[in-house]
Amino acid sequence: MRISTKGDYATRALQDLALHYDEGPIPIEAIAQRQVLPARYLEQLLLTLKRAGVLASKRGVNGGYYLAKPPREVTLGQVLRAVDGPIAPIFCVSEENLREHCSQETTCALRDVWAEVRDAVSAIVDHTTLADICDRIRAKTKQRITYQI
Amino acid sequence: MRISTKGDYATRALQDLALHYDEGPIPIEAIAQRQVLPARYLEQLLLTLKRAGVLASKRGVNGGYYLAKPPREVTLGQVLRAVDGPIAPIFCVSEENLREHCSQETTCALRDVWAEVRDAVSAIVDHTTLADICDRIRAKTKQRITYQI
DNA sequence: AGATAGCCGACTGATTGACTCAAGTATTAA
DNA sequence: TTAATACTTGAGTCAATCAGTCGGCTATCT
Ligand code: FES
Ligand code: FES
C-alpha cells in the first residue's frame, strides 16, 4: 500500500509551489533545492502535472512553473492520480477498468473491502487541497515560533 | 496505492479457508484450484502466514492448512501485514521505522495527510475479520439463490 | 514401504521504479 | 542579435522488486 516517489515528490513540489503562489513562475531548480529532490526527475513530474492541467509554465528567463488554479482548487487526489495511476488498491475496483471483471466476483467478498479502502483514501485525498496544506504548515510554523520566544 | 498479488492471493486463500473452517486441514492444491491461484507461489504465502501465526498446518496424508484461530479473530490487516509490509503509504508514517525521520518534517504538512490515509486504511482492514467476509459471501449467495428461484 | 503433502532455499525472467542525458524550443535581457 | 535562461521531449540506464518456478527434503498416514 505504498505511494511511489512520484506521488511523494509531486505533492512535495506542489506544496512548495502553493506556498509561493503569487510569486510568479518558479524554476524547477528552485523547487528541487528547497524540497531536496532530484531536479531532472522532478522535471518530468511537473510536465505530466502540466499536461493534467494542474500546472502551467513559462519558458525562458524568469520562467518556471506555477499553479494553473488557486491552491484552494487543487486537491491531492488530482496530483496523485496524475502521476501515479488510479487510487484503487486492486484492478477490479478501479474507477476505470469497468469492463474488466474479476473471475470470482460472485463468490468473493474482498472486492467490497477493497472498494471501501479505495473510497476511504479517495475521501481524504480528494478533500485535501493545497490551501489546506498551506494552512497546516503556517499553523505549525506559528506554533514553533510562539514556543521559541 | 496498489496491494500486491501477495496481498490479493493471501486474502483470497484465507477467505477460502474460512469458508471451509471446521473441515480439517485443506491442501494447498485444493485452495489453488478453487481460487485459481498458482500453487507453488501460494505455497510460500501460506508458509509466511503460518510463521505469522495466522495459519497452522498438518503434514502428510489428509494434511493441509487450516486457520490457527477462528475466523472471527483473524483480520485482513494481520494477513496483509504478514505478506506485504506495513500499511503506511510512505516510510515517514510507518508504525515501525519510528527512528527514521523525514528531513523536512517541520515544513511539511503532507506527513499528516499520509498518516490520515494510513489510519483510514488500517481502520478498515483491522476491523474486517474473515468471519465478516464469510457473512458477506453467504448473504450474497442467499440473495442470488432467492432471485434465481 | 509408499503415497501424500507441507517445508525450505535457491533461482529466474520480466516489469517497474527511479532516475539520467542529450538535444531542442521558447522567452527575455543585454 | 546574441546569449542566457528554462521548459520540452524522448530515449536510455541501472537496480530492485515482483511474480513465479523448481528440486529436494521431511513429516504423516495407510
Ligand atoms: S478480488 Fe476481484 S472479485 Fe474478489
Ligand atoms: S514527506 Fe515525510 S515529513 Fe513530509
**Which tens digits make up the pLDDT trace of B117-145?**
999 999 999 999 999 999 999 998 887 77
Contact B93, B118 (CB under 8 A): yes
Q: How many CA atoms lie within 13 A of A88 on its CB side?
A: 14
Tens digit of each residue's pLDDT (9 = 90 or more) over A31-64: 999 999 999 999 999 999 999 999 999 999 999 9
Q: How far is CA B27 from CA B20, B22, B46, in A?
A: 12, 14, 11
Burial readout B49-85 (b: 16 or more C-beta within 10 A, e: otherwise): beeeebbebeeeeeebbbbeeebeebbbbbbbbbbbe
Q: A5-148 has which CATH code?
A: 1.10.10.10
Q: Which among B89, B100, B93, B104 is positioned nearest to A35, based on CA atoms?
A: B104
CA of residue A107 to ligand 1 center, whole Å:
8
CA of residue A111 to ligand 1 center, whole Å:
5
Establish if B103 touches chain A: CB-CB under 8 angstroms: yes
Q: Which among A134, A122, A45, A44 is positioned nearest to A88, based on CA atoms?
A: A122
Q: Please name which ligand lies nearest the alpha carbon of B37.
A: 1
Give the cell for residue A11.
Answer: 505533492
Tens digit of each residue's pLDDT (9 = 90 or more) over A96-146: 655 456 767 788 899 999 999 999 999 999 999 999 999 999 998 887 777
Tens digit of each residue's pLDDT (9 = 90 or more) over B72-105: 999 999 999 999 999 988 988 886 655 456 767 7
Tell me the C-alpha distance between A20 and A6, whole Å: 21
Residues within 6 Å of ligand 2 by CB? B 92, 102, 104-105, 108, 110-111
A1 is near strand C: CB distance < 7 Å? no
- For A133, counting Cβ atoms within 10 Å of its Cβ (0-12 exposed, 13-18 middle, 19+ buried), the class is buried
Q: Give the type of residue at A78.
A: Q
Residues B113, A106: C-beta atoms closer than 8 Å: no
Residue keyed to cell 485452495: B31
Residues A124, B133: C-beta atoms closer than 8 Å: no
